[in-house]
Structure 1
Amino acid sequence: MQLAPFLPLMYRILKPSFPSCLWSGHDRARSIALTFDDGPHPSHTPKLLEVLDRYAIPASFFWLGACVRRSPELAKAIYQRGHWIGNHGYDHRSFPMLTPTELQHSLVATQEAIATACDLPTARVRDVRPPNGLFTPQTLNLLHQWDYRPVMWSVVPEDWVCPGVAVVVQRVMQQVQNGSLIVLHDGACGGTDVADVAALLIPQLLSLGYEFVTIDTLWQQSLSLTNQGFFSSLTSGDRSF
């Protein structure tokens, strides 16, 4: 059964239920984030990079530690291009299936692999997206306890089942809006078409006036909105805290 028809509904339900996660940017900014999971892949990712280079846009990559270990030079090349890097666990096992110790080991091992390949401090790799989008309240509590930032999604075209380039592009275009956080895959599942999808999708989004930003920028926007709401409550006379 394909999940694509149900994912927009799941987003609308889950976003207000788990506000400590990053689900999207704010709807007043014409900015969107294009993200890629499950890489880096030795053949799919270089083709994708050519497309991103062509349009000179930043993207965000959520990597598997095992894939970084296999392709450290490719990982470094992606980072040096200015793309944002996140943690997707070491080997794509669903986080709720792991014990807290196993989960922490998976995240730390991936952090270390990324830091070594890209020559950056491990503390810089704080953004975590759970594989398959699966998490529990306990998962989130552990991520916050360990000083990670959980990142989710707002537009998921289910490209990993390979429905075809045109279908993936159509699904994104039907759902995209200000602040969208789009998830595609450049790994073993879905990666075959990812460069072709990006080559069709990016110019269409640019023609609509969207600006591509990184996950870190969406976090900054989210924090800005939170602060605005806080100060608005002060000026409106709310002294309930």
Structure 2
Amino acid sequence: MPQSLVVTPAPQSVATPAATIPPRPTPTPVPKASVQPKASTKRTAQTSESAKRPSVPVQKNQGHARIQKKLTLSQLVAKYPDTFKLRGSGLEKKIALTFDDGPDTRFTPKVLDVLKSHQVKATFFVLGSLANTHPDVIKRIAQEGHVIGNHSFSHANLPKLSVNQFQNQIVHTENVLQGLIGYAPKLVRPPYGAINEEQVRWIADHHYLIVNWNVDSLDWKSLSAAQVLQNVLHQTRPGSIILQHSGGAESQDLSGTVQALSPLITKLKAAGYTFVTVPELLHVEKSK
């Protein structure tokens, strides 16, 4: 392995979710039904005795005691290790390239061209709404041997949704993709990497797998190729899941991502890394 190509590991940490597409407005939550106060009861002759006793919480307060503190992403990963993944095993020099927020017709085809020229397979986390708009690009991704994952339907901030809205984001996208590629993706990547514990449990119960990342290229900031390359090389280690983008908002320029991809693959291959898909890295199936 050439000494100049050794990738310097960065401290392991849970990736900070990146706002890849400006947040979409979410439906206004349904107001909670107001609780009518209970009718007061008449005082008894034992008022002097009862006044001395400490007050006992009524039943409605017992419900608050059962509400658990919201867990951070790192705590969720630790609590649900079989459902929430950030990386693969560090025992082999295998890594996975992943691309979010596609498909589009500006950058996704260019990313596919580079991957094809290097014979590298990647994993694309796509939006159901854009899969509907660009079905031919979705079909090309699948036909060229890449794996497709579920990135929600409209890039919603999932923890802000109701239970039904959250489920619809996942299931609607699954239905769209199954009609285009012939399988229901097992892999789910929440937009911004954000998800709450109730949603993690639903994911587990329905046999999905949450896949975030431990290497963030920050390419959503419309960085230059040199900046994207530096960000990835600085953080990559055996088992890394690398976050990049193949689509985004109209204001985002992912030219740096496309231009950095070929030298990135060349340098990491020279350093002894093998590129695999996320299912290969995590030893799971790509479909449910």
**The two structures share one fold, judged by TM-score above 0.5:** yes
Structure 2 segments unaligned to the other structure (5+ residues) = 1-9, 17-72
Deviations 1:132-171 (A, max 9, x none): 0111212211111222111111101211012321111101
Residue 17 (structure 1) shift: 5.2
| Structure 1 residues without counterparts, runs of 5 or longer | 1-5, 222-241
* Aligned mates of 1:8, 1:166 — CA distance in 2: 23
| Structure-1-length-normalised TM-score | 0.83
Identity over aligned residues, as a percent? Answer: 32
Alignment counterpart, residue 233 of structure 2, candidates 156, 164, 173: 173
Runs (4+) off by over 4 Å = none
Q: Which of 92, 102, 107 does residue 170 from structure 2 map onto?
A: 107
Query: More deviation in 16-25 or 168-177?
Result: 16-25
Two-structure CA RMSD over aligned residues (Å): 2.0
Residue 14 (structure 2) aligned to one of 10, 33, 37: 10
1:27 aligns with 2:94: no
CA distance in 2, matches of 1:71, 1:166: 30
Residue 144 (structure 2) pairs with residue 81 (structure 1): yes
Give the alignment partner of residue 136 of structure 1, picking from 196, 205, 208. Answer: 196
More displaced stretch, 18-27 vs 95-104: 18-27
- Who is 1:163 aligned against? 223
Range with bigger deviation, 184-193 or 108-117: 184-193
- Native 8 Å contact 1:8 1:155 kept in 2: no
Alignment match, 1:232: none
Q: SS where residue 149 of structure 2 aligns?
A: strand
Deviation at 1:7, TM superposition (A): 9.6
TM-score for both structures, normalised by structure 2: 0.70
The residue that corresponds to 2:269 in the other structure is: 206
Structure (1 or 2) with the larger CA radius of gyration? 2
| Number of residue-to-residue matches in the alignment | 213
Alpha-carbon distance in structure 2 between the residues aligned to 1:162 and 1:51: 19
CA distance in 2, matches of 1:193, 1:169: 9
Q: CA deviation at 1:204?
A: 0.8
d(CA) in 2 for partners of 1:205 and 1:96?
A: 36
Distance in 2, Cα, partners of 1:100 & 1:181: 29
